[in-house]
Amino acid sequence: MSQQNPKVWFITGSSTGFGRSLTEAVLKHGDRVVATARKPEQLDSLIHQYPTTAKVVRLDVTKPQDVREAIKAAIDAFGRIDVVVNNAGFASVGAIEEVSDDTVRRQFETNLFGALDVTRAVLPTLRQQRSGHILNISSVGGLVSFGSLGIYCATKFALEGISEALAKEVAPLGIKVTIVEPGAFRTEINGQGLVIADTRLDDYADSTGGILQWLESMDGKQPGDPDKAATAMIQVVESDNPPLRLALGADAVDTIAAKLESVKAELDAWKQVSLDTAFEGSVVSAIGG
């Protein structure tokens, strides 16, 4: 679509980080945006700058009624939704045993169930249109889990599993899905966006103790530029053949490549043990084949 026929974007978590950069980039690109945030007043400047192409809606993705009202507001404002960006989220830090039950549940409610609720609520509109593109903001931690970030990574692993299945389900309907996997970018998630476990157990100091120190030391020094990430995401949406997965940053590319090589090496090393578990004479085919 050109500026004469602009897309309508629905972006969660638009007030800071990737969400803010993407919202501003999309508006500069000439498209329309329904920018959502728990504190919509933080987006007042966008309304003043783009009074006809930006709409700000209050949205807490953990509240289903908020989700449905926000989607309705988007359709009422612009008549359609072309791109959905599930960006709202935060990161908890701590060993699996250290993170509180409440934090675990809040982490899943925001990063996973919030994204899932938005997706399920908007799918009827996209199905009716027979078009649309869903961008789910995952992480390099959606393919590679790190000690002390296990709960956060678990939400992203789950989001990737849902997204991969969803892409297969909706492809015949003209709907596209892309999983975005950023590495270290200069956003608030490594600073004020971190939720640090109150409990710190000495037994985990060697295996996970350095992660928090690394995250804090990287705050404000991450190599990734959120504005350039926004440009990359727009490029994906404009593509006739967008990827299922988009890694962002050299660190993400290198880390994911190393993980894939490790998985392949281990699969090959234990291949015969794996194959020997079948009944004699069974014909084996790929799952879903």
Name the residues annotated as catalytic: 138, 152, 156
Closest Cα partner for 180 from 240, 115, 100, 118?
Answer: 115
SS3 92: strand
- Dihedral over alpha carbons 92, 98, 100, 106 (to 10 degrees): 20
In angstroms, the CA 56 to CA 49 distance is 12
Q: Cα Rg for the chain, rounded, in angstroms?
A: 20
Closest Cα partner for 217 from 197, 248, 194, 251?
Answer: 194
Buried residues in 90-121 as b, exposed as e (16+ CB within 10 A): bbbbbbeebbeeebbebbbbbbbbbbbbbbeb
**How far from the centroid of its chain's Cα atoms is residue 214's Cα?**
22
CA distances from 161 to 3, 167, 181, 244, 277 (A): 34, 10, 13, 12, 26
DSSP-derived secondary structure letter, 204:
G
DSSP-derived secondary structure letter, 185:
B
